[in-house]
Structure 1
Amino acid sequence: MPDDCERLIRDLFAAYLINDRQRVADALADDFRFTSPFDDDLDKATYFDRCWGDTGWIARHDIERIFVRGEEAFVTYLCLATDGRSFRNTEFLTFAGGKVRRIDVYFGAARQDGRFLPQPR
């Protein structure tokens, strides 16, 4: 199971990178839920309405670590934008029936040229 979850996470990130909405939708369970600092417990339809956009601004995702235990996983990644900006996030995912059932995103600080950008106080 851990290998299946890791493979699903990597496939999901690859689908985001090429803006393959259908591949992402197929990876998400029908009762999928999404939470981030900007979104509270969105269902699958609302997630796509509010959060899905053109991912052409993403140059690449560097997955730094994936920890899987049973049907839960953490993934930390550095997202590099085409304009040179970057940020690091961590996501907590749960799985059911070979699909992603939930994603909780924890935003990291913005980075540029390998350094953290000052955050407004």
Structure 2
Amino acid sequence: MNDPNGTPASVVEAAFRCYRSQDREAALPLYAEDFTFTSPQDDHIGKEAFFRRCFPTADRFSEQRLLHVTPADGELVFVHYEYEPATGGRYRNMEAITVRDGLIREVQVFFGGRIA
């Protein structure tokens, strides 16, 4: 177990903080070795590909704000967030994140649309 005192929601919140601050060294231990990431642009990529392709993208956003971090059960956490790309506009996405034994095992991203 990565953090015996951490809830799945707190692990997810820590991962989002690491992403926004681009603290790769702090983020790596939050993810299981068999981690998979799926989004409309990525299909079940592994940990190495995620940290190479997806993690270093925080500079594309001028803002990202977690709206809801909601535990669904003992492992699954739903995250609803709003972000503003550096190019402008506002968008919302949802993620279903599985945390088991204190480690993020799977992330599924569902893209939302532009909001007013």
TM range (shorter): 0.7 to 0.9
Give the match's secondary structure for 1:84. coil
2:83 corresponding residue in structure 1: 79
**Structure 2 unaligned spans of 5+:** none
* Structural RMSD (CA): 1.8
Give the match's secondary structure for 2:52. helix
Residue pair 2:37, 2:106 contacting (<8 A) in 1 also: yes
Residue pair 1:28, 1:101 contacting (<8 A) in 2 also: yes
Residue pair 1:35, 1:42 contacting (<8 A) in 2 also: yes
More helix by share: 2
1:118 corresponding residue in structure 2: none
CA offsets 1:53-79 (integer angstroms, 9 cap, x no match): 242232332211122111111110001
Give the match's secondary structure for 2:112. coil
Match among 65, 85, 89 for residue 68 of structure 2: 65
For the pair shown, the structure with the greater C-alpha radius of gyration is 1
Query: What is the aligned length?
Result: 111
2:19 corresponding residue in structure 1: 16
CA–CA distance in 2 between the matches of 1:97 and 1:24? Answer: 16
**Structure 1 unaligned spans of 5+:** 116-121
4+ residue segments displaced more than 4 Å: none
- Greater relative CO (CA pairs within 8 A, separation 6+): 2
Residue pair 2:8, 2:100 contacting (<8 A) in 1 also: no
TM-score with structure 1 setting the length = 0.81
Shift in Å at residue 50 of structure 1?
2.3
- Greater shift, 45-54 or 70-79, is seen at 45-54
CA–CA distance in 2 between the matches of 1:27 and 1:80? Answer: 25
Shift in Å at residue 95 of structure 1?
1.1
Shift in Å at residue 17 of structure 1?
0.9
CA–CA distance in 1 between the matches of 2:109 and 2:30? Answer: 17
Percent identity reads: 29
- Greater shift, 96-105 or 5-14, is seen at 5-14
Residue pair 1:31, 1:101 contacting (<8 A) in 2 also: yes
Residue pair 1:13, 1:61 contacting (<8 A) in 2 also: no
Structure 2 residue 37 is the aligned partner of structure 1 residue 29: no
